[in-house]
Amino acid sequence: MALMETGKYSQGSVLGSVNPDLASERQTASFSVEKLTAWLDGGAEQTRLRRAVVGVIESDPVFSRENQYFQSQNERYEAAVRKAVHLQKKMHEMGWSENGPEFKYIYRAVAGDVAFLLHRIFMRSISMLGSDEQIAKWIPLASQYQLIGSYAQTELGHGTYLQGLETTAVFDVTTQEFILNTPKISAMKWWPGDMGRSATHTVVFAQLYIHGKCYGIHPFIVQIRSLQDHSLCPGIIAGDIGPKMNFEHIDNGYLMLQSVRVPRENMLNKFCEVQPDGTYVRRGSQKINYFTMTSVRISLISGEAIPSLMKACTIAIRYSAVRRQSKLKPGEQEAKILDYQTQQEKLLPQLAAAYAFHFINDYLQEVFDRGYREIQRKNFDTLPELHALSSGFKALVTQYCTSGVEICLRACGGHGYSLLSGLPSLYTKIIASCIYEGENTVLLLQTARFLIKCFMAASTGQSIPPSVTYLAATKAGKCPAKNKLDFLRPDIYTEAYQHTAVRLISSTAAKLQDLIQSGAKKHDAWNRCTVQLVQAAKAHCHYITVKNFVETVEKIETKAGIQRIMKHLCDLFALHGIFSNTGVFLHDGYISGAQMDMVTASYLDLLAIIRKDAVPLVDAFDFTDKSLNSALGSYDGQVYQRLYEWAQKSPTNKQISPAYGKYLKPLLHNRLSKL
Amino acid sequence: MALMETGKYSQGSVLGSVNPDLASERQTASFSVEKLTAWLDGGAEQTRLRRAVVGVIESDPVFSRENQYFQSQNERYEAAVRKAVHLQKKMHEMGWSENGPEFKYIYRAVAGDVAFLLHRIFMRSISMLGSDEQIAKWIPLASQYQLIGSYAQTELGHGTYLQGLETTAVFDVTTQEFILNTPKISAMKWWPGDMGRSATHTVVFAQLYIHGKCYGIHPFIVQIRSLQDHSLCPGIIAGDIGPKMNFEHIDNGYLMLQSVRVPRENMLNKFCEVQPDGTYVRRGSQKINYFTMTSVRISLISGEAIPSLMKACTIAIRYSAVRRQSKLKPGEQEAKILDYQTQQEKLLPQLAAAYAFHFINDYLQEVFDRGYREIQRKNFDTLPELHALSSGFKALVTQYCTSGVEICLRACGGHGYSLLSGLPSLYTKIIASCIYEGENTVLLLQTARFLIKCFMAASTGQSIPPSVTYLAATKAGKCPAKNKLDFLRPDIYTEAYQHTAVRLISSTAAKLQDLIQSGAKKHDAWNRCTVQLVQAAKAHCHYITVKNFVETVEKIETKAGIQRIMKHLCDLFALHGIFSNTGVFLHDGYISGAQMDMVTASYLDLLAIIRKDAVPLVDAFDFTDKSLNSALGSYDGQVYQRLYEWAQKSPTNKQISPAYGKYLKPLLHNRLSKL
């Protein structure tokens, strides 16, 4: 900590001693925070392990994020490389392996600010798409870091539509090589991480041409930089794509290929091969590719989206228990802003959502694991459902978490806008998750396509996957709630969500059929329904999230008040969803206006109830101060002192700006007319 | 432009020649873009003047923003000071004055990236709160830049609640001075612009104490830095508050005062005075203070919020007409993403909103000018309405524009996330407008308080201000629309908005009374209604915006197809509002479910209609490429070439990173086990 400039304000000793306004929040917890943490972790042993990993990482100064908010893009890149290299060393020292139990906690602990994440995707793609020989050749090199890999798929002109990629790989029978080219500027590879400045190799996706015929997109291993001096290889033009909203630590790069030749063996050929004479052979199922993206999207939900929302809630709720502003009752002390209904209504639904998503992640993981077992038995039947679930939930969760983080940021007022609060960087990072690994609207439309198919199948009596069986059991009816307490009954609100999802899916299916029957072309009819299809897909995912939360709460066996508070959060999540989307529930009169008033009343009542446990509920996420890296969100709640001390370290306070000598002094010392 | 590294991709000549995909959009405009621009400007003469000012500014290299996305906080501050000083010189040269017709275009032209904005607030506060002697002393010094002023109101612990400020100013009768102190860390001034590194003087707001009695908040002129060498004055601790989400060019600062003495004449004393013997005299009306904030909020709407949304729309819509991705029809060329319904549904409502807000700004300006004339005649009756309007619209417009910019950013996919798109900086800047000059929730509650008062007054037959007279004319009834075309009738949708606003205000008023009648304390009852009060205030402002848009369209006299396209935009704005808030219209059955389907159908139809004019509609905003500063949004639509060329200029491509020598080389040249 910087030394205070004057003794009077030097309350250095204050840091670490908990602000009484935060301490009092913890004394009245209705449940055991430690037990909730253990339950969220999947058992006390997991909590112990996680804390051990976090402890090792955070006590190592190389992993410090202390100056992160003050660094330039160049500095952040250098730090990320330093950390990535050091992490390998650390893991070696500690005996941690990629398959070990500690592994999943490591990236949480380093808080994502490391390089070489694409190196891992490079390895994964070779493992999945390469032959045994290719795996035997490349994986040891990569895992020993005798090369640094990247993954060059996206181009300037193409992201979501992979078939449209323009990079070419022409097979030259005479030399047994592929000749790779970037035929035009839009074909330039653009965005791949680790590629701008670090990678020596990359997997390039290109249109394969043999004897003038195009066989579509295939992956090729291409060396781009010298292993000796890191200079660009002949025919390679590469560099960094420049500043972004965040991810300054990653060298997202561009790559142009000018008649770059790679040997025939460099095409990853588990599923297809070009034989020496140019014969193209396809083998095995390509469906497995879906599974890769499924796994990536699910790990994104648990690894990026949910922790960001949990951190933002922790910061904003602790701050709101410490910040006092204006008087709620005349003559009294200024009130904690968390006591204002509007502040509760901003933050507590985000808290409930963080829990809801933690549980839906468990559900997705389970469905995924089950699917994986089936696939190992060569049964690919679950793939469409898995794809629909992972797409829809990737979109729903990243969208929800992004807006949740923004709400938390704004709920902290001006101080939330300071980078030192930690909230701006959480926001600028998580918003990218709405775009990468599948743009959310595109993904929701894929889920919608699955839903429409299933709905049609169900209506003709065919069997449909477990997550959508509810589509077959449609019934009209009205919501039976008679008073506001009825809306705290999970059966009541779950049914309302189900009803709404079915209605949106069935009405869109009907519109689609109407359009086609009245002569519209199929693709045109689809396009004209897409706004509603997106709504339907969201409603489906929202319903499953509520249902899963309810089932999770029912299964809770831990004592210590946990089930009660989880039930409140579940109710809040469900009623917030209705309160924020009243229209879809009112539309066909399933819920009446009078019932909606009951929903509102119960919803607002819940805010006041959960408010009492708000701080313990974020404490249970168990983020260390170092991982939050927030002047507002630290465990001790000494926000003003910390803001002041951290600001001292800013480069803007470390130099006399040249602006004084150059501009201010001449201005002040002369009359304007002499300028 | 950087030289291309290879001739093959050097399409430098391409820049400036319009991408055919954008050119074709312009050929089919249904109206005259130039005439629309002139109409928006308030006449062709204004357009000419604006372009002249922009031309002067943009042709001067000192005002260049070319490297803005690559600069550090220190560099941006220095550039902002350089520009501010140069701007004074430029204005002098050009004969532009603060009262001249060019003035309002200058800040649009420099795009806000200049220092000394708080210097102007310093001057404004002296002009409004100072006596004639004080004005005569300080204003010439300030306008000649013999000092640089700031405005120190906000403290670490207090923003919105001014009465809670903790800085003290104790009157010392013996020396005829005020002694200013920062009694604790939360009392430190925090956030004032121009204060961290530039200002020599500031207006400090402090609690006035005379003979031990507190008289509340008063403004004092305090010198904080030497006019000779810019060193901090005795008793002053000041510095920069560090990195923020944006505004890196502004030196937002902190300030602590340790027994700093200022003469009695330094308290701004137009409205109150401390006489030599310590007698406190209050004079005149303090209500005028409302008026200052009113003017600031209105200028924020027109100066910050609306241009940001217009720029974001320009960038995203031009890009969406150039970006092709995936096929809409099998066998055809890939489609422009603007042809996808989901993309239209993201962008076109933002475009309609930009127009709606441009018109509501005219309305607010007119109400404000009328109020100002009244106030000059010492009639303060319009102040409550003005305050309610400026508060509510500041909140509504900044909120809407912030989420609109975010939608535009995300609608551009990965490239929108690059700083070079211009969208991230628009977003990170505009989100601050939801917080500064009154936090939006607090402002909406002030509007709500006015609405509840007026509603109560109306129900007892008292007269109420013009903007809320509709509250008196409540009637039940149902929406009379019979088919989807009826929802293109302005009377139909305006009435729906009015009905909804009245219902939300009256039902919340009823809940408030119920709570009080059932024994709740008044402040507690108020707090328990605030979530709904915020909704009611928004509905009120939304209604006025729609009504004003309708009236504006009706009054259009220009030919050239402008009225027709404006009518479409008005319809779209109105129907988008219903489509996005179906619940409030369905709640009491004013609009039925079947009618809501008609709304949806008309709304989706409109998207396809307006899509045809989308590019001409953003062209009409008439932003230069330099003012957009966007690789995606330039007039010529050469997005890929520009992204590539701009990326070359990034500092990440200007050095071999030390990371290679320090970390990558040792890693690659050794086995991991030797690390």
Q: How far apart are the first and last CA of chain A?
A: 43
Judged by DSSP in three states, A201 sits in strand
What letter would DSSP give residue A3?
A: P
Residues 6+ apart with CB under 8 A from B594: none
CA–CA gap between residue A634 and residue A638 (Å, rounded): 7
| Cβ–Cβ below 8 Å for B164 and A334 | yes
Nearest residue, CB atoms, B650 vs list A240, A434, A604: A240
Beta strand residue intervals within B235-288, DSSP E: 236-240, 253-257, 260-263, 272-274, 280-282
Chain A positions in Cβ-Cβ contact with residue B531 (cut-off 8 Å): 341-342, 345, 604
| Residue numbers in chain A where pLDDT is lower than 70 | 1-13, 286, 289, 474, 671-675
CA–CA gap between residue B273 and residue B410 (Å, rounded): 54
The model's pLDDT over A199-210, given as tens digits with 9 standing for 90+, comes to: 999 999 999 999
CB B168 within 8 A of CB A334: no
Q: Could you tell me the two tokens for B434?
A: 């939801």
Residues 6+ apart with CB under 8 A from A322: A19, A21, A22, A336, A637, A639
B153: nearest Cα among B205, B198, B188: B205
CA–CA gap between residue B420 and residue B429 (Å, rounded): 15
B299: nearest Cα among B393, B427, B383: B393
CA–CA gap between residue B494 and residue A243 (Å, rounded): 45
Kindly report the CA angle at B157 between B156 and B162, in degrees rounded to 5? 105
Judged by DSSP in three states, B377 sits in coil
CA–CA gap between residue A538 and residue A552 (Å, rounded): 21
Q: Is A637 exposed, middle or buried (0-12, 13-18, 19+ CB in 10 A)?
A: buried
| Cβ–Cβ below 8 Å for B191 and A414 | yes
| Cβ–Cβ below 8 Å for B588 and A593 | yes
| Cβ–Cβ below 8 Å for A244 and B419 | yes
CA–CA gap between residue A209 and residue A215 (Å, rounded): 6
Chain B positions in Cβ-Cβ contact with residue A420 (cut-off 8 Å): 242-243
DSSP calls for B179-237:
EEE--SGGGSEE--TTTTTT-SEEEEEEEEEETTEEEEEEEEEEE-B-TTT-PBPTTEE
Q: Could you tell me the two tokens for A523?
A: 């693709």
CA–CA gap between residue B105 and residue B121 (Å, rounded): 19
| Cβ–Cβ below 8 Å for A417 and B432 | yes
B444: nearest Cα among B374, B389, B370, B512: B389
Residue B97 near chain A (CB below 8 Å): no
CA–CA gap between residue B394 and residue B400 (Å, rounded): 10
| Cβ–Cβ below 8 Å for B581 and A583 | yes
Q: Is A161 exposed, middle or buried (0-12, 13-18, 19+ CB in 10 A)?
A: middle
- Name residue, tokens 């962008």: B347
CB B318 within 8 A of CB B21: no
Residue B672 near chain A (CB below 8 Å): yes
Q: Could you tell me the two tokens for A361?
A: 């992640």
Q: Could you tell me the two tokens for A43?
A: 């058992």
Q: Is B559 exposed, middle or buried (0-12, 13-18, 19+ CB in 10 A)?
A: exposed
Chain B positions in Cβ-Cβ contact with residue A439 (cut-off 8 Å): 413
Chain A segment 182-221 residues within 8 A of B by beta carbon are 185-186, 188, 190-191, 196-198, 200
> B16 phi and psi, to 5 degrees?
105, -30
- In A460-558, which residue ranges form alpha helices assigned H by DSSP? 490-517, 522-555
- Name residue, tokens 């708000």: A614
**B406 catalytically annotated:** no
Binding site per annotation, positions of B: 154, 193
Domains of chain A in start order, with CATH, are 118-284 (2.40.110.10)
Q: Is B23 exposed, middle or buried (0-12, 13-18, 19+ CB in 10 A)?
A: middle
CB B263 within 8 A of CB B210: no
CB atoms within 10 A of CB A516: 14
Give residue B479's pLDDT.
Answer: 97
Give residue A671's pLDDT.
Answer: 57
Q: Judging by DSSP bridges, how do beta strands B201-210 and B168-172 pair with one another?
A: parallel
3-state SS track over A44-64: HHHHHHHHHHHHHHHCCHHHC
CA–CA gap between residue A122 and residue A119 (Å, rounded): 5
CA–CA gap between residue A258 and residue A261 (Å, rounded): 9
CA–CA gap between residue B184 and residue B241 (Å, rounded): 17
Size of interface A-B (CB pairs under 8 A): 394
Q: Which residues make beta-bridge pairs with B207? A: B168, B217
Residue B373 near chain A (CB below 8 Å): no
Q: Is B121 left (phi over 0), alpha (psi -120 to 50) or beta?
A: alpha
Beta strand residue intervals within A14-163, DSSP E: 149-152
A239: nearest Cα among A190, A167, A182: A190
CB B253 within 8 A of CB B238: yes
Nearest residue, CB atoms, B164 vs list A148, A325, A529: A325
What letter would DSSP give residue A142?
A: H
Residues 6+ apart with CB under 8 A from B105: B49, B50, B53, B54
- Name residue, tokens 């630290």: A634
CB atoms within 10 A of CB B136: 10
Give residue B474's pLDDT.
Answer: 66
Chain A positions in Cβ-Cβ contact with residue B324 (cut-off 8 Å): 157
Q: Is B473 exposed, middle or buried (0-12, 13-18, 19+ CB in 10 A)?
A: exposed
What letter would DSSP give residue B293?
A: H
Judged by DSSP in three states, B552 sits in helix
Q: Which of B25, B437, B495, B645 is catalytic?
A: B437
- Name residue, tokens 């002390």: A333
Q: Could you tell me the two tokens for B161?
A: 């609640």
CA distances from A497 to A109, A363, A492, A502, B483 (A): 37, 18, 9, 9, 29
Residues 6+ apart with CB under 8 A from A488: A571, A602
Q: Which of A385, A437, A495, A645 is catalytic?
A: A437
Q: Could you tell me the two tokens for B246?
A: 């944006």
Q: Average pLDDT per run of 10 along chain B, which is 675 residues long?
A: 39 78 97 96 97 96 94 95 95 92 90 89 93 97 96 96 96 98 98 97 98 96 96 98 97 98 96 95 76 87 96 98 95 96 98 98 95 87 93 98 98 98 98 95 98 96 94 85 98 97 97 97 97 98 98 87 96 98 97 98 98 98 97 98 97 91 92 44
| Cβ–Cβ below 8 Å for A243 and B418 | yes
- Residue type present at position B485: L
Judged by DSSP in three states, A257 sits in strand
CA–CA gap between residue B509 and residue B533 (Å, rounded): 9
Longest dimension (CA), chain A: 91
Q: Chain-centre distance of CA A478, in angstroms?
A: 37
Q: Could you tell me the two tokens for B416?
A: 């929108």
A315: nearest Cα among A425, A459, A238, A164: A425
Residue A15 near chain B (CB below 8 Å): no
Q: Could you tell me the two tokens for A131?
A: 């032959």
Q: Is A223 left (phi over 0), alpha (psi -120 to 50) or beta?
A: beta
Judged by DSSP in three states, B86 sits in helix
Give residue B286's pLDDT.
Answer: 67
Q: Which stretch of DSSP H or E encloses residue B398?
A: helix B383-411
CA–CA gap between residue A272 and residue A286 (Å, rounded): 10
Judged by DSSP in three states, B364 sits in helix
